[in-house]
Structure 1
Amino acid sequence: MGIFNRGITDANRKTIAAELAKLLGVDEAVPESFEGIPVVNNQRSWFFQYAKERQANDIDTLWAIFAEAIRFSESDNAEARNDFIKAYDKTTNVWGIGWNLTMGLYWIRPWNYLSLDSRSQRYIDKKLAIQIDRNGPKGRCTANDYLTVLETVEARFQEEAYPVHSFPELSLAAWLYKDTDQDDESKKWKNEVYARIQEYCRENNSAEFSRQDFLSKYLDQFQELFPNNNTIEHTIARNLQLLRDDGKIEFLARGIYRLLDDDLTETVSQGDDADFEPILISPIVPYSVDDILADGCFVERTQLEKLLERLRTKKNLILQGPPGTGKTWLAKRLAFALIGQRNDSKVRAVQFHPNLSYEDFVRGWRPTGEGKLSLVDGPFMEMVKAASKEPAIRHVIVIEEINRGNPAQIFGEMLTLLEADKRTPTEALELCYRRKDGELVFIPDNLYVIGTMNIADRSLALVDLALRRRFAFIDLEPRLGKTWHDWVQGKFGIDSEILSEIEKRILALNEEIAADTSLGRQFRIGHSYVTPPLGIPISDAREWFKQVIETEIGPLLDEYWFDVRDKANKARQRLTEGL
């Protein structure tokens, strides 16, 4: 399968796959697309070495893991699991086997096995914030490491809000994922050193090179590339050691090395050379208060700046207001502005609801689908770990409708750790469910929490006082006025007179709602109801407004005045009368 699952054109992949299908008697049609299917290095698509160099039992070992993987996928008994573990660990000692072993497992049973190609590793680490243990040869997974991460991810598939719900979905999401942090300096150093070793060996037509000759040729280049590094020679020496550890070069004698994995093609590899593939850097998109306003925020600049400052100091913020005041919309944009860039990998949104528990949000035991339980971190612990890994970068978790759940119960001991002055290792506490004895957890200083709260929902109880003390509460109001008027007119070309009439009618309705003793100001209608979404053309503004009344505002009024239906009907009529 590695013959066509490699870095070649889709047309060639289809041709090879079709011929293999004929040879093997496969009746299924050749796929039209290969998106998301991990590919191996063009020059190393075999899983074994040439006959004169491989061990006598290498091929049998590869067939054994193939057979045991299929058997284990069809049976979850202990014997099948143990046989798979033995076969997997034995296969890791075959020359040419690395992360491509997990890719092969995925190819043969994509619904049962997880591929740990470089893109999937990056997605699991950065987006899903799940740790991949590497206790096997050359810093890769043992069978137990592999099954641990597989079962941890698989347990999360059952959550409706989880980004992916199967291994094929994960592989595709990883293929599409853009990680703006992958160009960190340490990885850049290793790539630059490795690229110049390849260049040097190619120019000299030899796999052997001396450190002194290498420094003589490239020292000036590295000084230009890394002008702030005052220990260039030491850093090069350290990266030579890292390349030795990774099996890319070997040490022959004092100061003499040999290049082992000389892949001189320009093809991006997702296989065994995954750590050295050319880096595709997604541009960092800066984001600030100016961008919030440009996106269609009708809150004044000075208030937005105060909101951000309050978030920076308090760490935890709740936006509360009537329905349609853009609480969730603004929460996510405040998160981007706090980070300083529009980076979805640093912002996580979670919806609270009555059935959400501590075990869902922080950590708890989950079924794996094989009749077993696995201790799985929830979204909050995942963000804690992600923020801890990158202490210089701000991370934000947005909790929508925070008062729809029971925050004190859902946060558990984390509620204490939320306080800004308790975000240090000295304040760390034990969790209800520990991975090991003595495990202590604290919330890092660079993790911020933004909640939203609909104060018009009569089904909800008052917020716990302990939660109130740990959050700053900000009221959002319906924002109909010149800023709203000018923005909607500029974006959608709606006639000014129509917008003025819409504004007048909504304001009159809000005055009536605020004056009603059974309702009040918290039940007013927000501006989002009468702000068209970007990208949706409005050809007939009057008809659009009528539809908003009929399908959105009208049903809400029926709920407000459920016991005075005539009042709701008259309010509807006044909104559309004469349009």
Structure 2
Amino acid sequence: MSEQTSFTWLPFFNEMLTVICNQYDPQTLVPIFKQIFPKQKDEEIQGIKTDFKEIDPLTFIACFNRNETKENRIAFCKTAKEILHLNAPVPADFDGIPAFNNQKTWFLQYSYLRGKEDCTILWNFAKQRVSSHPITEEEMTQILSLKQIGLVKICSFLFICFPTTYYPVDSNSCTFLGLQKEDTFTFFDQLQKVAKEKYPNLKPYELSYRAWQQNNSPEHSPVTTDKNTFWAVNSIWDGHDQIEDFKNQEIWVDGWGNINDKRDALLLSQVQIGDIFVVLSSSTKGTGHNTPFTRIKAVGRVIAKNTWFSFSVKWIKTTFHDIADIAPYRGITICKMKEDPILDYVKRTLTKALNSLVFPLNQILYGPPGTGKTYHTITKAVEIIDGQISPDYTEAKKRFDELKAKGQIKFITFHQNYSYEDFMVGIRPDLQNGQISYKLYEGPFKQIADRAKSDPINNYVMIIDEINRGNISKIFGELITLIETDKRAGNKHALSAPLLYQNQEFSVPNNLYIIGTMNTADKSIALVDIALRRRFVFEEMMPKADLLNPVEGFNLPKWFSQLNQKITDLIDKDHQIGHSYFIGKTTKEELHHVFYQCILPLLNEYFYGEPEKLSQVIPGFMENNKLKSKLSIDDFMQALNQKEAASNEQQNDNEG
């Protein structure tokens, strides 16, 4: 963590909540709140400000953690310490705390919007936490049912008051853990478990801070061996080799800096986030120690500067061969690497490992139909294998087909009847000369995994289209564990398992990437097998109106946005229409064809048996619960304009 980051806030809010819950109630806490936050007002009638008559602990504590300046937040805490007679020191930092949106800070709504029991529910929730009672699904569901309270908000409160117990579920933390947020108790419980499993040595507040650092640094930018700065660094100081501690704690520390000797300070100041650390030692061996050699112990990427001499590092690779007959880095603690056989070897060996920082080994592209999921699997697969991609899709597709023909890419589609025997290995009947025999069949995953194992220099990609349509546990079997990053062959917790029908152990290699696609109109992400969600990084792909252009005077982007907003309002965002249906369409005739041949069948399916809702989505086109025929694309725009005009007129009447 940074030189100024000592997490001074950790005991403060925990003590504050304990004092509030033990010594105050909804009415007696009000004067304390008014003293600290005099500008905060309630509304008993919309727009008419008034003083609070009751307040809850969650809103009280959230107000200290609004998106304010650090100085203001410290001043609020100082006042609270004096009034509440807290023992904890006033925080000097708020590192790791996800700040509340200033417009959505309160848990307790204005009086005119507030339910009769809302304040009581919030107080009970706080008191249960102070009493160390585990959170139940019933409790979480009840508090999430209150207006303007989502899972991110309630978990931010839990994290602030119990920073060693609860992990936040803000976007930084979810991205860091490779999870897609949902407002459910199941997801809350899942995230707490996944965080502990993936980072057992990180406290929740450390993970939150690390997630923020990662999301706000160039750590996720593409890595190329010809553009990143490489540093040779040492791991031996204080009489010991620190490499194992470095790897376990995901850090690198300059030995001189550790004893406050600043001889390396100038070089250390030049290290940038995204640079590559090559931990090595150069020495001699053999008779008379006349034979030089260099031993590379680990290579990692700098993801954060902690102090002037300490860095957070994502270790990429830790297994190398010794390099004989060369020892150019003897006696160094840190220096910038030059072009030499060692750097050349590192770059050649590292290309695959560097890619793993940018491309998750397991990822799923999900979104409504027509948002380009399958399109992007093609470009991603080529980029994973080649390390670069042509901006021209035609060239990318040509390269994709070449790699597929070579066996470096496999493309399959899951369906309800797909099985482990189809995917991995099984027994199939074979008819020869009227005689039936049974042969061992190796499925596409077994085939590409074996190829990847025999060719560790290159990357391989398995694309699974419609991954959510298959029965995951039935298809993957033991693979659901073996595909995990740390369980892959050669990694820290590598595992293998015996295959069905074959008396041999099987493991999944590190150079095999899995890309899945998922149509959310078929199945919400909330319904996806948790085992799958824990092991895959999910990337959302939504409709993009900005990729469309007007067609012959028809405002396609505007109409497209309005259509999807209606669908979102009436169903949800997972059933929107994707932009790819309209890409490349340049005439109204083409748009008309797309609407009647592609879009309308989808809408009819979405609103089957609900013609009144269908008429809201495409206003003016329903008659006797049936779609009018022979309507032009211009009619669509005219109806949209009429709808907007009517809406504006109604709004003006209301304002008048």
Query: Fold match, TM over 0.5?
Result: no
Question: Which has the larger strand fraction?
Answer: 2
Structure with greater contact order relative to length (CA < 8 Å, sep ≥ 6): 1
Question: Which has the larger helix fraction?
Answer: 1
What range describes the TM-score normalised by the shorter chain of this pair? 0.3 to 0.5
- Please report the TM-score for the alignment, with normalisation by the length of structure 1: 0.41
- Please report the TM-score for the alignment, with normalisation by the length of structure 2: 0.36
